[in-house]
Amino acid sequence: CIFFHKMSFYNIREDMGLALNDILRKVFSNNNEYSKEDIAITWINYKSENKNVLKGCGFSINNKRTIYPASIVKLVYGLAAYYWIKKGRLLISDEISDAVRKMLFHSSNNATSFVVDLLTGTTSGPRLGGKSWENWKYQRLIINDWLNNLNWEELYGINCCQKTWDDEPFGREKEFYGYKNKNRNAMSTDATARVLEEIMIKIDYQTTNLNLRNCLKRNLNKLDLQVDPLNQVEGFLGEGLPESTNFWSKAGL
């Protein structure tokens, strides 16, 4: 790698930055509506001649800016479910495994709602008041507390406490979003990349726990993609890859 300084979990590589900026210049020359300020990217290459080195090399743009992650937050909820089971907070079952897979592979919001309820001990419903409301909010912030306790520098300032919706939240969920949705989910591309790194590289998966990596594996066969209009490949980066490529991803709209 060609470095000019180090980051918390990956090393900056200058030649990757030059290549990325060249790609963006070509994109913006074809569409004047957008600029580099409209994009956030964390791009990391983990290929190394030293098999014992897992730290990647890469480049980033607006990588610490917190933005609404849409369904990307499901990566966090999947990782939380893995660690809840590992620590004995949850007992793995066919139902939990099915829900996590549907949350990550199909991006099911119904499955996500179920997983968030399991992780936090909360449920959706009409508005609450008094101590019940305070207890509910305390419980719903458990995932954020866990993220803070990981002490990963790139997770600073992110918020992962809301469910995802096909339409919009109602009742206590709507109130929990706060004034002008101030409490909605927020992540950066560095935070997302760090969570994805944990899922793809750091975890030694056991048969007694969730295999999150398998939940993110995508089939790039164009005939198979036609059967699933919500395949998370067409319209995303995976669409430009050869069909034989091994590809794992999580998309958000």
**pLDDT for residue 229 is more than 90:** no
**pLDDT for residue 2 is more than 80:** no
127-173 per-position pLDDT tens digit: 999 999 999 999 999 999 999 999 999 999 999 999 999 999 999 99
- Decide if 214 contacts 90 (C-beta within 8 A): no
When the pLDDT of each residue in the chain is averaged and rounded to a whole number, the result is: 93
Mean pLDDT is lowest, of 50-59, 65-74, 173-182, 210-219, for 50-59
Confidence band, pLDDT 50/70/90 cuts, at residue 230: confident
Phi first, then psi: give them for residue 174, nearest 5 degrees.
Answer: -65, -45
pLDDT of residue 3: 47
- Decide if 93 contacts 71 (C-beta within 8 A): no
Task: Give the Cα separation of 241 and 249 in Å (integer).
Answer: 13
Task: Give the Cα separation of 96 and 209 in Å (integer).
Answer: 10
What's the token pair of residue 156? 């600073």
**pLDDT for residue 221 is more than 90:** yes
Radius of gyration, CA atoms only, the chain: 19
